[in-house]
């Protein structure tokens, strides 16, 4: 019997402020690929003094970081470029100048080595990131909670991902970042706000979102926090404000998740994206298993795969490859369906 063919995929992710390259391999009949090597270079140092991602600086930083990331992955993976079977890159959504860096690199390599080019969707990548380490029972509800996106999906198979709801204004991570900025914390504010909230009590009242359905809206809470900060001035109990704001954000998220689970009769929840690193969110999700009993289990990727990474793009790319959905070398990149996240215009509250 001949050995089953081994496919190698090289994936690039550069949609916002993380430059990442990953090498994955799989046999054609596999459902998901195995991660061989990957690398990520964050740009926090570039953007923190501006309190948000500066698109122009982000694109330039991608140009600087991409080749070192690629060299590291090729060295660790021990696979030469000539042995790669397909080159993949995030094509949307994201900051155009940033997307172009990874996209152009993957296209150039495809052309050079006459191998397929796979143009990938960032959000699909986030949804599929859970398959890097887990095999969740299907169907499941996927909640994407990142800096640019907050949405719910029904996942019936690796190739069947249906949207159920999304944010109408800020993404959850964006709401964390903007709230952190109001509280004088540094960028990216999510982890900082979480830390500050740990020493506070949710003693400031925040209103509940009244909007029906499975869409989210976080901008009202952001305005409430802005009013609170202004009203209290010097006497603001910052840790309590952080805890109250976080509680309001998570109450809204969890209530929508519960509603979707009920409506779709699903008992497995997958949470992906940068905010899935948040410990308070994780504690609240544990309660969905142990107290309300609405789910049997919830799963999140390890912290490194919660934030933007090329490994998740590689999983999505492998599915495209299996389905024969090869992209044209003329394929374009696409901005977000909503304005780019954390850009200076959006982060100025």
| Contact residues: ligand KG4, CB under 6 A | 16, 146-148, 173-174, 176-177, 188-191, 194, 273-275, 277-278, 307-308, 341
The CA-atom distances, in angstroms, between 318 and each of 1, 8, 23, 34, 333 are 25, 9, 11, 10, 19
Do residues 216 and 256 touch, judged by C-beta distance below 8 A? yes
- Three-state secondary structure call for residue 201: coil
User: Which of the listed partners (Zn ion, ligand KG4, none) does 192 bind, with a CB threshold of 5 to 8 Å by partner kind?
Assistant: none
CA atoms within 13 A on the CB side of 234: 0
| Number of helices followed by number of strands (H, E) in the chain | 12, 10
* Closest distance of CB 336 from Zn ion, Å: 11
Q: Would you say 119 or 150 has its CB closer to ligand KG4?
A: 150
Please state the closest distance from residue 56 (CB atom) to ligand KG4, in A: 18
341 binds, among ligand KG4, Zn ion, none (CB under 5 to 8 A by kind): ligand KG4
* Binding region for Zn ion (CB under 5 A) out of 43-51, 60-68, 143-151, 155-163: 143-151
Contact of residue 202 among Zn ion, ligand KG4, none (CB under 5-8 Å per partner type): none
**Residue whose CB is less far from ligand KG4, 84 or 299:** 299
Task: Please state, in angstroms and as integers, the Cα–Cα distance from residue 162 to each residue in 123, 158, 301, following that order.
Answer: 12, 11, 20
Give CA–CA dist 338/167, Å, rounded.
10
Q: Using CB under 5 A, which of the segments 48-56, 67-75, 279-287, 302-310 binds Zn ion?
A: 302-310
CB of 25 to ligand KG4, least distance (A): 25
Closest distance between ligand KG4 and the C-beta of residue 87, in Å? Answer: 22
The minimum distance between CB 226 and ligand KG4, in angstroms, equals 18
Letter string b/e over residues 285-294, b meaning 16 or more CB atoms within 10 A of that residue's CB: beebeeeeee
What gap in Å lies between CA 64 and CA 68, rounded to an integer? Answer: 8
- Contact partner at residue 307 from ligand KG4, Zn ion, none, CB < 5 to 8 Å by partner kind: ligand KG4
* Look-up of token digits 């390890």: 302
d(CA 176, CA 286): 21
Options 79-87, 169-177, 278-286, 306-314: segment touching Zn ion (CB under 5 A): 306-314
Identified binder of Zn ion from the candidate list 39, 90, 119, 146, rule CB under 5 A = 146
308 binds Zn ion (CB under 5 A): yes
Name the minimum Å distance from CB 307 to ligand KG4: 3
Spatial contact of 173 and 272, defined as CB atoms under 8 Å apart = no
Tokens (6 digits) for 236:
């603001």
Residues that bind Zn ion (CB under 5 A): 146, 308
């Amino acid at each position: 019997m001949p050995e089953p063919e081994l496919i190698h995929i090289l994936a690039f992710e550069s949609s916002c402020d993380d430059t990442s390259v990953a090498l994955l391999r799989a046999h054609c009949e596999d459902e998901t690929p195995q991660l061989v090597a990957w690398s990520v270079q964050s740009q926090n140092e570039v953007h923190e003094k501006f309190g948000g991602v500066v698109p122009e600086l982000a694109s330039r930083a991608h140009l600087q970081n991409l080749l070192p990331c690629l060299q590291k992955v090729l060295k660790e993976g021990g696979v030469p470029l000539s042995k790669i079977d397909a080159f993949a890159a995030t094509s949307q959504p994201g900051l155009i100048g940033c997307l172009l860096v990874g996209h152009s690199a993957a296209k150039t390599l495809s052309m050079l080595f006459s191998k397929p080019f796979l143009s990938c969707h960032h959000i699909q990548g986030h949804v599929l990131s859970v398959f890097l380490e887990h095999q969740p029972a299907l169907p499941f509800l996927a909640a994407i909670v990142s800096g640019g996106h907050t949405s719910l999906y029904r996942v019936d198979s690796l190739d069947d991902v249906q949207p159920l709801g999304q944010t109408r204004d800020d993404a959850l991570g964006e709401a964390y970042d903007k709230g952190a900025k109001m509280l004088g914390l540094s960028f990216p504010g999510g982890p900082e706000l979480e830390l500050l909230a740990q020493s506070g009590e949710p003693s400031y009242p925040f209103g509940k979102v009244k909007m029906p359905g499975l869409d989210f809206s976080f901008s009202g809470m952001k305005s409430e926090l802005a009013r609170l900060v202004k009203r209290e001035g010097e006497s603001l109990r910052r840790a309590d404000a952080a805890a109250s704001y976080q509680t309001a954000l998570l109450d809204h998220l969890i209530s929508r998740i519960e509603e979707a689970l009920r409506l779709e009769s699903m008992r497995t929840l997958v949470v992906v994206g940068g905010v899935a690193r948040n410990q308070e969110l994780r504690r609240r999700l544990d309660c969905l298993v142990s107290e309300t009993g609405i789910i049997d289990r919830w799963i999140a990727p390890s912290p490194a795969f919660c934030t933007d990474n090329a490994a998740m793009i590689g999983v999505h790319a492998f599915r495209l490859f299996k389905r024969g959905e090869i992209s044209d070398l003329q394929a374009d990149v696409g901005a977000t369906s909503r304005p780019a996240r954390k850009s200076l215009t959006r982060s100025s509250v």
